[in-house]
Amino acid sequence: MAEKNRKIDIKKVDTNEFNLPETSFVRDIENRVFQGIVLQCLSEIEGIGLVEGNFIDSIFNRGQEGIAGIHVEQDSKNQSVIIKIEINIQYGFSIPEMAEEIQTRIANEITKITGLHVSCVHVVFKNVLSIDQIKMLRSPMTQESLMNAHARTEEEEYNDEF
């Protein structure tokens, strides 16, 4: 009977004593994603053309990872991105107006799609071109032929035959 009268002292566990680490969510975005967004923005703006590497570099994808003329730096600590693009402009277009339009579109689209802050959009105007030269740079035929040449090169690279 003495056992029944004995009170058991149960201590409650203080959950404040446990320091659980916070859950961290990580997302990685490859530079090609940013380059694709920039290309889409530039394709909607009249009077400019992206600076291309030389033909051989385009075929073998040498010298750069991704698209020549679009450079991306990500700062994961600050959740921000820096974009540098090199473009040609058609003669007769205002460089300050074009720069502002390009920078605004790119910053808005990247922020909207990725959720990252765009800390800098650096536009480098490399050359002034005629209407015909701009049309040739933007021609789907030129872009398609470069893509086909690149695809053929990749097929040959993985071919088992000597």
Kindly report, residue by residue over 61-118, the tens digit of the pLDDT: 444 456 888 999 998 888 899 999 999 999 999 999 999 999 999 999 999 999 999 9
Tokens representing residue 68 in the block: 């020549």
Q: Which residue has the higher pLDDT, 38 or 4?
A: 38
pLDDT of residue 98: 95
Q: How far is 41 from 49, CA to CA, in rounded Å?
A: 12
Domains annotated on the chain, with CATH: 29-157 (3.30.300)
pLDDT of residue 136: 73
pLDDT of residue 11: 65
Burial label, 70 (beta-carbon count in 10 A; 0-12, 13-18, 19+): buried
Top mean pLDDT of 3-7, 118-122, 133-137, 156-160 is at 118-122
* Res. 132 pLDDT band, cuts 50 70 90: confident
Kindly report, residue by residue over 3-29, the tens digit of the pLDDT: 566 666 666 666 666 676 777 777 788
DSSP codes of every residue in the chain:
-HHHHPPP-PPPP-GGG--PPPP-------HHHHHHHHHHHHHTSTTEEEPP--HHHHHHT-SSSS-TTEEEEEETTTTEEEEEEEEEEETTS-HHHHHHHHHHHHHHHHHHHH--EEEEEEEEEEEEE-HHHHHHHH-HHHHHHHHHHHHHHHHHHT-S--
- Is residue 67 within 8 Å of residue 57, measured between CB atoms? no
